[in-house]
Amino acid sequence: MNTPSPTDAVSVSVPRLVIAAPSSGSGKTTVATGLMALLASRGLAVSPHKVGPDYIDAGYHTLATGRPGRNLDAYLCGTELIGPLFAHGAAGCDLAVVEGVMGLYDGAAGQGELASTAQVAKLLRAPVVLVVDASSQSRSVAALVHGFASWDPEVRIGGVILNKVGSDRHEELLREALDESGVPVLGVLRRAAEIETPSRHLGLVPVAERRDDAVSVVRGLAERVRVGCDVEGLLRLARSAPSLEVGVWDAGDAVRAGADPVRPSAVPSNAGRAGFRGSAPDPAPQAPAGLDVRPVVAVAGGSAFTFSYAEHAELLRAAGADVVVFDPLRDEELPAGTAGLVIGGGFPEVYAAELGANEPLRKAVAELARSGAPVAAECAGLLYLARSLDGAPMCGVLDADARMSERLTLGYREAVAVGDSVLAAAGTRLRGHEFHRTVLEPGAGPAPAWGLVRPERRVEGFVQRGVHASYLHTHWAAAPGMARRFVERCVA
């Protein structure tokens, strides 16, 4: 995938650590969030990052550090943007902490190391701390750590943190075994049930839905790290990271460069529906210049719509918009002067009754969509624009109904824009991510938003008037032309 990449390299010397694990559920979020919060409490400016597409962990990182949690996803954005996006987020910071995804070497299915924590660690030249769930092992931990440390010689595992250790004797056995591995123990966390981060059908409950409790949890995690970890040893390891020669991503530069995603010469064989074609589209319009009035782009927020990458709002502003956040659970009107609407992901299914009860806002959204104004909706936004969600009335913009499902839809996708829309020209190709337990019937309109080409071939989503609605989560840093195109439609 070709993505826009900064060209002027600078030397980035910010100390940094990658917090990884052999598998999911080992304690990465506990350690990463706790370490971020502890160091921030000591007055350090900590830059928080998350490998992969997950929005929820990044929300806890924001709470822990007071800075935007930023994702580093080599599948969505391309390997060439990992360093520049990292440098953008870490600018002016004393230290960066990167929480990994799944197991250290797990990435996009069937594509080798792509999008794995190991790949990101190598791209950032960052030392790795391996968090190991030691609850059901003793001497075997040395074999496990040795295997991870030796699997890829380009990945530097600089220490291990033992999690869920049961007793002093258990800790002694683990330390004795690891003495032979050559990998230092930088922390031991005992089993603790008193600090719990509640989960639901798509993972942790987002910070915005439980802010007071979340603050308490993050403080508790910081205390666990303070008591159980060699914080000075972790800082020394972070400072051992060599300088990184990369360009620094900048939203204004990205919008001005105007790079769009790849436009393929061929698309799926089932492309006949709704002009699903691969012919080269017209050149993308230039970035807005000298706007008399900056258009207001309303962005849904609050407890029901918590999923958004920080770079999206930055790109919209760089493209000339005034970004105003509103809460569909509380606000009965769209922000004054709204010229465009962005509704990202979240958990509308949890708040279906409350969203349905806010009839004035539902009508305002429907009226805006009928006017032809640009509306971009991803996943939760798609459900909100539907006729109903689990029987509760939604905005009725789309002739479709949504319901919860027991089936989890999860994974990376490659997609092609079926036709022209407020986000992309026909034939535009990009990568995205699906993550939901809902079903929309029908799943695509007469003019679908995307034709998925990998791992399965199907059409999905809706394009009608100025509306682009889809289950697909995308990262606009890989396609800044989407933000520019959207803002231009706001002033057309």
- The secondary structure of residue 478, as a DSSP letter, is G
What is the signed CA dihedral for 268, 273, 275, 278, rounded to 10 degrees? 0
474: burial class by Cβ within 10 Å (0-12, 13-18, 19+)?
A: buried
Structural contact between residues 490 and 322, judged by C-beta atoms closer than 8 angstroms: no
Distance CA(12)–CA(14), nearest Å, equals: 6
Distances (CA, A) of 308 to 62, 157, 230: 13, 31, 34
What angle (nearest 5°) sits at the alpha carbon of residue 312, between those of residues 10 and 58?
A: 80
Distance CA(456)–CA(302), nearest Å, equals: 33
Choosing from 77, 93, 229, 379, the catalytic residue is 379
Please give the structure tokens belonging to residue 269: 């064989």
Distance CA(82)–CA(73), nearest Å, equals: 7
Beta-strand pair 70-72/95-99: unpaired
Give the position of tokens 């936004």.
381
Distances (CA, A) of 176 to 26, 134, 161, 350: 21, 13, 14, 48
DSSP per residue, 227-278: HHB-HHHHHHHHHTSPPEEEE---HHHHHHHT------S---TTTTGGG---
Is 395 catalytic? The answer is no
Q: Helix, strand, coil: what percent of the chain each, to 5?
A: 35, 25, 40
Please give the structure tokens belonging to residue 276: 């699903």
Structural contact between residues 338 and 368, judged by C-beta atoms closer than 8 angstroms: yes
Within 8 A by CB and 6+ apart from 156, the residues are 121, 127, 128
Distance CA(461)–CA(393), nearest Å, equals: 19
Beta-strand pair 46-51/458-460: unpaired
Q: Which run of H or E residues covers position 380?
A: helix 380-385
Residue 445 main-chain phi, psi, to 5 deg: -90, 180
For the chain, what is the radius of gyration of the CA atoms? 23
Which residues are designated catalytic?
379
